[in-house]
Structure 1
Amino acid sequence: MAILVGIAGITGQFGQLLTSKLLDTSQQVEIVEGGAYDRDQVTNFVTGCDIVVCCYLGDDDLMIEGQKILIDACENEKVPRYMASDWCLDYTKLEVGQLFTKDPMKHVKAYLGSKEFVKGVHVFIGAFLETFFSPYFGIYDSGTHTFSHWGEPGVLFETTSYGNAAEFTAQVVLDKEAVGIQRFVGDIKSMDDITLAYERVYGVKATVVVKGSAKQLYDKMWSVRNQPSSQPHEYMAMFYQYYMVNEQTYVGPYLHNLKYPDVRALTIEEFMRRVPLDQLPAVYSNSVTERL
């Protein structure tokens, strides 16, 4: 019997990837799309679904109120499972306001927990590899082949590619018993190990620079944020990196990777072997088909 999967936000990159992986994984999948704020339309969309997956990516209103509308409809229409729009580090270890872009996820998780019928599903994957190598994140300098970070020299980074995250997520969607937090990580490496892999793959010498301690990063990110004229793009990457290198938001050590043996975790080195050197800084903006 086919499983009916409702995907809200299917036109986004992750929604498209997940749809592709689901259709590749099983012939017993039927997918419908929907979303937005019209409660009647949302009700029609979720009715009959075995699971609703939210792939929204937007402002706080969409991420909180938009998801609440979906959750209410799932509760009323007796949809067994609702997968929240997460795919990130473990925000349950954060207090509200610490990494404020994750506050909507905390609110949604609490809201799901208040429902009697529909069960929440939350997929944690660490940092997306594509973002990790992007100029925005400030770790990789393609011009000088330099990897720079804050924190202890041996601090570990949990990363998963978009495609690998979609593969694990597809398995969770198809597993009717999978509820609650699901933890998957493609690779866990120190910056030194990432640099060695980079040198093996691309045949160029790379350098690691430790900018300072986690405490120094904390002081810097708040100094920038507290400037009256500051904009989020000036400090958000620092906030993300701080809550990674202080080890507060690790997805591990207890992962669910082995729960789905048909999916093999993609290492950072394997990921780099798929991406030409000149494309690595911009791989985050590649089309969906290139991530499959």
Structure 2
Amino acid sequence: MKVGIAGITGKFARHLGYFRNSSKLPDTLRSSLKLELIQGNAFDNDAILSFVHSCDVVVFCYLDDDKLMVDGQKLLINVCGDEPSVTWYVASDWALDYTKLELGQLFPKCPMIHIKAYIETKQDVSGVYILIVGSMEPVFSPFFNIFDPESNTFQYWGEGDEAMGGITYDDAAKFTAAVAADPNASGILKFVGGCSSIYKIAQTFEKIYGMPATVERRGSLDDLYKHMHELSSSNPQNVYIYVSLFFFYYWINDQTLIGPELVNARYSEVKPVDYEGNMYKWPREPLATSFFSLTM
């Protein structure tokens, strides 16, 4: 079986090819006899044709602006549809159940809504959609600004007991690899490693690392909703000051919860860890940078 991974130099895809820059790949991948590397960009039609040729399934792992996520992905889907060997296509990206969102609510997910609708118009390629809620590693990173590693403080919006389903990058990649090797995979497939809340995550932190943690409330979910929209309206070009707030809001407001129809058991060879298991993997000092330290 031949699996095409579009965007293999990315954090997630390297845990699972087609790529823009081979220098980003570790030597273990570049030297693998099981891996054929094809370099090109998302709009290089000849390179895409060469990449897709004789693949059984293609997994899309790009993560970039809307032009790439929509137009680039549509081009790849079209080429897959013209390649007889490609039976199905795994669309990107994985986080949150975007099928429960309306267009415009969580803007980074709009491309996924468009792509799912586009694939459903195609007669010559079937779509598979892997949904995982959120990734655990970024919870401790500066992206969400939840965890302050200097003071061991967890800051949150809401009540602090909202469910935060999550899975590690490594476990999400293992499930994706299992799905790619499953000839019967189809439709929407949902996976979760564990579910916790900010308060429970802080308690687990104390248990694992043997040091006290402080939990501080920033405001209600209504306060968060107002704040994130004020930031996006006042400075729309500075996406990084508000994108994490949008993600966090839709992660914990119950709208994008994964479940209850999980398919973990279908791929029982994968044993995902929960939040506690993830913390066991990381010493205290690099925990806040675990997201940036992800490698093969």
TM-score by length of 2: 0.90
Deviation at 1:168, TM superposition (A): 0.7
Q: Is 1:6–1:31's contact at 8 Å kept on the other side of the alignment?
A: no
Deviation at 1:229, TM superposition (A): 6.9
Match of 1:268? 275
Partner of residue 57 from structure 1, selected from 59, 63, 75: 63
Q: Is 2:163–2:252's contact at 8 Å kept on the other side of the alignment?
A: yes
Higher helix proportion: 1
Q: Is 1:17–1:288's contact at 8 Å kept on the other side of the alignment?
A: yes
User: Equivalent residues in 2 for 1:226-241 (5 A)?
Assistant: 226-228=233-235, 231-241=238-248
Distance 2:258 2:78 in 1: 28
Distance 1:98 1:253 in 2: 23
User: Where has structure 1 moved over 4 Å in runs of 4 or more?
Assistant: 29-35
Q: Secondary structure at the match of 2:291?
A: helix
Q: Is 1:187–1:266's contact at 8 Å kept on the other side of the alignment?
A: yes
Match of 2:14? 16
What RMSD, in angstroms, separates the aligned Cα atoms of the two structures? 2.2
Say how many residue pairs are matched. 283
Distance 1:54 1:170 in 2: 12
Deviation at 1:200, TM superposition (A): 0.8
Relative to structure 2, which stretch is displaced further, 96-105 or 145-154? Answer: 145-154
Partner of residue 214 from structure 1, selected from 206, 221, 236: 221
Paired-residue identity, %: 42
Distance 2:35 2:283 in 1: 36
Q: Is 2:63–2:93's contact at 8 Å kept on the other side of the alignment?
A: no
Deviation at 1:175, TM superposition (A): 0.5
Match of 1:198? 205
Deviation at 1:32, TM superposition (A): 5.5
Consecutive unaligned residues of structure 2, counting only runs of 5 or more, are: 18-24, 29-33
- In structure 2, do the counterparts of structure 1 residues 230 and 84 end up closer, same or farther at CA, with 3 Å as the change threshold? closer
Relative to structure 2, which stretch is displaced further, 59-68 or 230-239? Answer: 230-239
For 1:172-194, what per-residue CA distance to the aligned partner results, in whole angstroms no more than 9, with x for missing partners?
00001111111111110122211
Partner of residue 259 from structure 1, selected from 252, 261, 266: 266
TM-score by length of 1: 0.91
Match of 1:185? 192
User: Equivalent residues in 2 for 1:66-85 (5 A)?
Assistant: 66-78=72-84, 79-85=86-92
Match of 1:26? none
